[in-house]
Amino acid sequence: MSANTFGTLFRLTTFGESHGPAMGGIIDGCPAGLIIDNEFVQHELNRRRPGQSGYTSPRDESDSIEFLSGIFEGKSTGTPIAFIIRNTDQRSFDYDHVREAYRPSHADFTYDSKYGFRDYRGGGRSSARETLSRVAGGAIAKLLLKEVGITVKAYVQRIGEIDTAQDFSIEQLENIESSPVRCPDKAASDKMLTLINRLKAEGDTAGGVISCIIEGVPAGLGEPVFDKLQADLAKAVMSINTAKGFEYGDGFNAASMRGSEHNDIFIAAGAGKIETATNHSGGIQGGISNGADIRFRVAFKPIATIRQAQQTVNRIGESVEIEGKGRHDVCVVPRAVPIVEAMAALVIADHLLRNRSARL
Amino acid sequence: MSANTFGTLFRLTTFGESHGPAMGGIIDGCPAGLIIDNEFVQHELNRRRPGQSGYTSPRDESDSIEFLSGIFEGKSTGTPIAFIIRNTDQRSFDYDHVREAYRPSHADFTYDSKYGFRDYRGGGRSSARETLSRVAGGAIAKLLLKEVGITVKAYVQRIGEIDTAQDFSIEQLENIESSPVRCPDKAASDKMLTLINRLKAEGDTAGGVISCIIEGVPAGLGEPVFDKLQADLAKAVMSINTAKGFEYGDGFNAASMRGSEHNDIFIAAGAGKIETATNHSGGIQGGISNGADIRFRVAFKPIATIRQAQQTVNRIGESVEIEGKGRHDVCVVPRAVPIVEAMAALVIADHLLRNRSARL
Amino acid sequence: MSANTFGTLFRLTTFGESHGPAMGGIIDGCPAGLIIDNEFVQHELNRRRPGQSGYTSPRDESDSIEFLSGIFEGKSTGTPIAFIIRNTDQRSFDYDHVREAYRPSHADFTYDSKYGFRDYRGGGRSSARETLSRVAGGAIAKLLLKEVGITVKAYVQRIGEIDTAQDFSIEQLENIESSPVRCPDKAASDKMLTLINRLKAEGDTAGGVISCIIEGVPAGLGEPVFDKLQADLAKAVMSINTAKGFEYGDGFNAASMRGSEHNDIFIAAGAGKIETATNHSGGIQGGISNGADIRFRVAFKPIATIRQAQQTVNRIGESVEIEGKGRHDVCVVPRAVPIVEAMAALVIADHLLRNRSARL
Amino acid sequence: MSANTFGTLFRLTTFGESHGPAMGGIIDGCPAGLIIDNEFVQHELNRRRPGQSGYTSPRDESDSIEFLSGIFEGKSTGTPIAFIIRNTDQRSFDYDHVREAYRPSHADFTYDSKYGFRDYRGGGRSSARETLSRVAGGAIAKLLLKEVGITVKAYVQRIGEIDTAQDFSIEQLENIESSPVRCPDKAASDKMLTLINRLKAEGDTAGGVISCIIEGVPAGLGEPVFDKLQADLAKAVMSINTAKGFEYGDGFNAASMRGSEHNDIFIAAGAGKIETATNHSGGIQGGISNGADIRFRVAFKPIATIRQAQQTVNRIGESVEIEGKGRHDVCVVPRAVPIVEAMAALVIADHLLRNRSARL
């Protein structure tokens, strides 16, 4: 019900503005007895951190997490797990020039329209820095999923017009972190880097597409009719900054296929197990997981802050010119990989718990 | 929070199985004083009804709605509006052959996996007939939106490989109902019909894409960070049967664009009004409407029931052959137009009420 | 979250006005595989029905329930269970005299204040007839509880100034239905009947107190900090028409006790089981059930409709005199027994499911 | 939906264990533009703080609040308001003796039953220290209510067997803070102090009753049928540690009254305003405020920790003797006054926002 809470039973509530004292959140509904691996959580946060390579914003924050509750002797207690991440590098003067101006395709105008005023420092609540809390929450969700053999992995499939034409399995993603753009296709990865360098020189930005695979999900997760698994996944990732599209299985391509092509034939896989011969469905049928890998993709637009002069208006409608200053990425898509994984993990963890009530 | 309830303040809960006594639902949270135009609601239901043309399933149900509560002297009272639509044409014998078999790409296997058994008659709860209740709920939402000048209209953009290359404005959709496939482009419409006829002969099915436009939404609707307007729209439409993808604004195409191309420049539109010169954003920025038309698209896979023999397995993993019987559409995309509109209307109505708490 | 929905996982949504076409509701979240005993549900509804004795309102409605969904071959399917109960005896002319007048201590004035107008026929949504749907929902909850050995039983402890000084165990309530006032103490029961007869003659009404016992609840139900078991029970019963107070365990009396008196000492009960020697706590400690009987009480005010002339005002503030007409009870407390049980059963069923997520 | 979240639109989520790093919470849904008076919030926290007099626990914590988000230039921004209060005085060695033993009438046994283990330091999450976050959230709610002229005030009506027989108006509570037991009746206040001193000497504890008045609530707040105003108030206060009973208006006394006595006659109060001549209803009719003062009472049991030897068992059912050590109150009822006010303020703030959707 709450705009800053995600999930039904495994729930994450986030808070924090880009240049306020801290980001953070509360995970409520984590079952008791889960070993909380702090290093893993911090590792996930580091994956999201800017300044990991020359290709992303050099804002260097330690982003170190402090847990405030819900953990005792290394294990979750069943009570809310709160955490904060202090904002240590708040150069708010960088943003004074946008106090009055509405940056094109940013949330300045809409926040003012909604709330009457806004925390204009670094985008305030609309900053992508908010996703830090999602990654922290998602890390706890991943720990829960690990207990039942579920793995969530994502990779960059496209940056700008460079697209790896291939599909990858989760095993092929093992060395994904060695690619600075998190693309497992070496050739495509190199081209993406070349593109980013060119755009950096031009003061421009690029979008892209992320593919995500969830392996090990048992058949039965998903809650028709409104909380179908794909519906909750769609909401989860479409709530990430700059996401513009979601598809699962064959997605938009399915629109051009015949039923006879798209149908996944069931086969007996031995030991009473039933599988599908193909996976056009992307692991979900009728809104419920069928045991196959869940596969979905998310499209991201290019980020709005460019290092070129742009025309816009200010609060009172006067024409002003604006140009991106401060620290900004050319392409955030590689950094969005852990965010997409986090949101997917939150959805699956939630549905895992919800499914406990499916039967007598 | 409930799997069969959609919305936060303007809430629809639905019930009903394809071959049970009735479909229906409850709308809770509709403000008091709204004139309930029964004819309009019935008209919307009729738009979803099968058998409207030779191209859709000839199941002929009157689908007439009965309101049970929440309306007094023609107006909403602020209490729950319940409605039912009796299932009058329940030929359950049509479905006996699927009692044990798992139809490919249907929800038979996943429902059994989740619940241990299922109402196998006509798909039970997983039947698209469930969307009847959504259309009824959406009709009430549309009446509410009309009061504040908001219009929701959708049309078929693609069926199979036939795509109208054009974008349409809401004004151009005025005669949309005269196209049997609900495509405003006459040439494309004709090709789509030809395709459907061919597939009918072949016993095959097709998917497609629907475009939706929401006009008149004031700036300010949407609730960051998780209930961003696009996130709720994505969830809404991805919960419709056979939906496989969602995008808004430039969607997946935005992934290939530059920031300098994609950014929507703000301009003063007179009388203190601020607008964008272009609408790559699809009417939403930072998760909040900006006053421009909201535009999104939904991809649908071809329906799974085909009139061709298919291999599959039954509950105990034995190989069986199956072939679609009974009444089935070649392509449900035209009939999904009112469903998409209904879900979009529910989202906007909900956010309209939620936004009443945005400011002191 | 919705005003007409109760529960988190086991959820009841109700609808219906006293003189509209039907009362009804939807139970969402009932686990699949529960045998739905229609006769038991109807029996519960009959227990609530007016006209069971000379002491309650002679409105004679069959109140027969029709299930519309969620049940297949006699068992719950895991999908929403919808039901309706037609209103067959709608003598709306009885209420024409209150169309404009505000009856003292009724909801006429407050509904008008909130919604701007109201369905004035028989109290509309504010009628106690709404509790029919609660009893139906509670009956399903009771069937679920029975599966795990939990029983909910209530009885009348007080009517007006007549109070049975005793506490009863659940076993002593076996013949409770043979008392026309549902009080297990024969002497008190007789005095209550005498009081009711006298008040009937006087055209006056009485309130009372109901005691409820829930037996067989395992230790561990309840969700601190806000959804403590007593908090949810309090909300549940305080939402019943005319309820004025709630207490559990020693309740208001506990306020006068010493810690040394009130504390329940733990003892080993054999086989590793731990119990309390006394039950001042009423079966709940720290918001969580401790395995002892849960005991609570609910106070009801006398109903507002009396057969005496009363002064009041109408919508425009003019002085008018009003006198109760139509069919009205002298004391609804005996009929509230199944309603209190139903609300308690809904709470326990919900917490039973919620507790499934407490541990890894 | 979440056990640690309270409210629908104005929502408080709390976290923190007695001896963990910090207590805190998130307020989500506070409208933008509210001036956040930090001093007032701190003042409210101070009112709850132990060690205010010789009669309460001498644990001396500064309990100073830090806001982490949601406030910009002194005003709420419409985004989540997060706050923390560090636990500075964590003498966990005080509690080592209860690591294995189940203290009578504490939550040790039930937490273990539910979660499998517990943070045993100072009661962990079950500690009344959790109410700090409620007082902080309630303080923000009070600031919101002040904007529309609503005041919430509570006082101690009873401690042990000492009860002020009088009813007080909100005006008479102006100097309430000058009474060390927060009772406006000087004679009763003195007797209460005498009682507390005697119990301190005896190593025993006392419960009591708090009365609360909410003034200035407009007619129309409350959401039938389940979220009636009294139902939400009941849940709110029954979720406070040691609360055992709730009643509003004439409460349990109403059970002994006649309808003709209890009914509140409506009168014209001039200027089109309609009022009731009496207030037996406690300001709520049909679940909706009627414009009169809302009045309710809460009963609290004596706290369980006494300075006397008590028999109990440990985790494995062995008999052990236990005696209260550390810092403990004789009677927490005076300190519960700001907690009751906070919970009431949260309920009214929430319903104030919810009511914005009542009408077209």
Which residues, other chains included, contact A256 with Cβ-Cβ below 8 Å and sequence gap of 6+? B158, B160, B161, B207
Select the more confidently predicted residue: C96 or D28: D28
**CA D161 remoteness from chain centre:** 21
In whole angstroms, give the CA distance from residue C333 to residue C342: 14
Mean pLDDT of B68-80: 98
**pLDDT for position B96:** 67
Which residue carries 């009004």 as its tokens? B273
Say yes or no to pLDDT of C326 above 80.
no
Chain C touched by B22 (CB under 8 Å):
yes
Say yes or no for a CB contact (<8 Å) between A28 and D4. yes
Residue range B165-178: average pLDDT? 93
Instruction: Tell me what pLDDT residue B89 has.
Output: 64
- A1 and D17 within 8 Å at the Cβ level: the answer is no
Least confident of B3-17, C303-317, D150-164: C303-317
CA–CA separation, C311 and C332 (whole Å): 24
pLDDT value at B207 more than 90:
yes
Percent of the residues in chain A that have a pLDDT greater than 90, as a whole number: 87
Q: Tell me the pLDDT band of D52, cut-offs 50, 70 and 90.
A: low
Contact C5 B5 (CB under 8 A): yes
Give pLDDT, residue D95.
67
pLDDT at D329: 87
Q: What residue in A sits closest to D27 (Cα-Cα)?
A: A15
**Residue B188's pLDDT band (cuts 50, 70, 90):** very high
- Kindly list the residues from chain D whose CB atom is less than 8 angstroms away from the CB atom of residue C130: 225
Interface A:B, Cβ pairs < 8 A: 372
| Residue predicted with more confidence, C79 or B50 | C79
| For residue A91, pLDDT beyond 80 | no
Each residue's pLDDT tens digit, B261-280: 999 999 999 888 999 999 99
Set of chain C residues whose Cβ sits within 8 Å of the Cβ of A358: 31-32, 78
Give the pLDDT confidence of A266-316 residue by residue, as tens digits.
999 988 899 999 999 999 999 999 999 999 999 999 999 999 999 999 998
pLDDT of residue C188: 97
Domains of chain C: 5-355 (3.60.150.10)
Question: Tell me, what's the pLDDT at D247?
Answer: 98
Max CA pair span of chain B: 71
pLDDT at C208 > cutoff 90: yes
DSSP track, B300-314: EPPPS--SSEEEEEB
Closest CA relative to residue A306, chosen from A106, A91, A19: A106
- Condensed to tens digits (0 to 9), the pLDDT of residues C110-125 reads 999 999 999 999 899 9
pLDDT on residue C50? 74
Confidence check: pLDDT of B337 > 90: yes
CB contacts under 8 A, B 52-71 vs A, are: none
pLDDT at residue B60, rounded to an integer: 54
In percent, how much of chain D has pLDDT > 90? Answer: 87
What is the per-residue pLDDT for D57?
53
Stronger pLDDT, D98 or C292, i.e. the higher one: C292
> Per mean pLDDT, which range of A354-358, B297-301, C304-308 is the poorest?
C304-308
Burial B214-246 (b: 16+ CB within 10 A, else e): bbbbebbbbbbbbbbbbbbbbbbbbbbbbbbbb
State the CB neighbour count (10 A cutoff) for residue A325.
Answer: 13
Is D124 close to A5, i.e. CB distance below 8 A? no
Nearest C-alpha in B relative to D9 = B357
Our CA-based measurement puts residue A223 at a distance from the nearest CA of chain D, in whole angstroms, of: 16
Return d(Cα D159, Cα D176) in angstroms, integer.
15
Residue D90 has pLDDT above 70, yes or no: no
D54 Cβ neighbours under 8 A, 6+ residues apart = none
Whether the predicted pLDDT of C13 surpasses 60? yes
8 Å CB contact between C20 and C119: yes
User: How does pLDDT run across A154-175, given as a tens digit for each residue?
Assistant: 999 999 999 998 989 999 999 9
Question: Taking residues D68-79, what's their average pLDDT?
Answer: 98
- Please tell me the least confidently modeled range out of C108-112, C258-262, D97-101, D131-135: D97-101
Please give the mean pLDDT across all residues of chain D.
93
Rounded CA-CA distance A218/A346 in Å is 16
* Mean pLDDT score, A247-262: 98
| Chain-centroid distance, C-alpha D114 | 25
- A-chain residues near B302 (CB < 8 A): 254, 257-259, 261-262
Q: How far apart are CA A231 and CA B288, in angstroms?
A: 20
What is the value of ipTM here, to two decimals?
A: 0.97
Q: Would you call B20 an interface residue with chain A, using a CB distance cutoff of 8 Å?
A: no
Tell whether the model's pLDDT for residue C318 goes beyond 70.
yes
The larger pLDDT score, comparing residue B15 to residue D100, is at B15
Give percent of chain C with pLDDT exceeding 70.
94
For chain B, give the percent of residues with pLDDT over 90. Answer: 87
pLDDT tens string B114-146: 999 999 998 999 999 999 999 999 999 999 999
Average confidence (pLDDT) over C259-269? 96
Distance from CA of D282 to the nearest CA of C (A): 9
Q: Do C105 and D264 lie within an 8 Å CB cutoff?
A: yes
**Cα A126 from Cα B285, distance rounded (Å):** 10
Triad A321, A325, A330: Cα angle to 5°: 110
- Rounded to whole angstroms, the Cα distance separating A173 from B57 reads 45
- In angstroms, the CA B107 to CA B119 distance is 11
In chain C, residues with a C-beta closer than 8 Å to the C-beta of A1 are: 1
Per-residue pLDDT tens over the stretch D337-359:
999 999 999 999 999 999 999 99
Residue of A nearest to D66 (CA): A21
3-state secondary structure (DSSP) of residue C138:
helix
Tell me the backbone φ, ψ of residue C199, rounded to 5 degrees: -65, -35
Strands (E), B39-117: 65-67, 71-72, 75-76, 81-86
pLDDT mean across residues, chain B:
94
The pLDDT assigned to C216 comes to 98
3-state SS track over chain A: CCCCEECCCCEEEEECCCCCCEEEEEEECCCECCECCHHHHHHHHHHHCCCCCCCCCCCCCCCCEEECCCEECCEECCCCEEEEEECCCCCHHHHHHHCCECCCCCCHHHHHHHHCCCCCHHHHHHCHHHHHHHHHHHHHHHHHHHHCCCEEEEEEEEECCEECCCCCCHHHHCCHHHCCCCCCCHHHHHHHHHHHHHHHHHCCCECEEEEEEEECCCCCCCECCCECHHHHHHHHHHCCCCEEEEEECCHHHHCCCEHHHHCCCEEECCCCCEEECCCCCCCEECCEECCCCEEEEEEECCCCCCCCEEEEEECCCCEEEEECCCCCCCCCHHHHHHHHHHHHHHHHHHHHHHHHHCEC
3-class DSSP state for residue D112? helix
Show Cβ contacts of residue A36 under 8 Å, excluding neighbours closer than 6 positions. A67, A71, A74, A75, A76, A81, A140, A143
Mean pLDDT of C199-226: 97
| CB within 8 Å of B147: residues ≥ 6 apart | B34, D360
On whether any CB of chain B is under 8 Å from the CB of A234, the answer is yes
Contact C232 D235 (CB under 8 A): yes
Give the Cα-Cα-Cα angle D315, D320, D321 (nearest 5 degrees): 135
The confidence score (pLDDT) of residue C327 equals 64
**pTM of the complete model:** 0.97
Mean of pLDDT values over C264-268? 96
- Whether residue C279 lies within 8 A of chain D, CB to CB, comes out as no
Which residue among B29, B224, B359 places its CB closest to the CB of D357?
Answer: B29
Judged against a pLDDT cut of 60, whether residue D246 lies above it is answered with yes
Tell which C residues from 174 to 213 touch D, by Cβ distance under 8 Å.
Answer: 199, 204-209
Report the C-alpha gap between B239 and A279 in whole angstroms: 19
* D5 in contact with C, Cβ within 8 Å: yes
Residue-wise pLDDT tens digits, A197-238: 999 999 999 999 999 999 999 999 999 999 999 999 999 999
Neighbours of C260 (CB within 10 A): 17
Give residue A149's pLDDT: 98
**Residue-wise pLDDT tens digits, C18-63:** 999 999 999 999 999 999 999 999 999 999 987 665 455 555 558 9
Mean pLDDT check: name the lowest of C2-11, C49-58, D41-50, D184-193.
Answer: C49-58
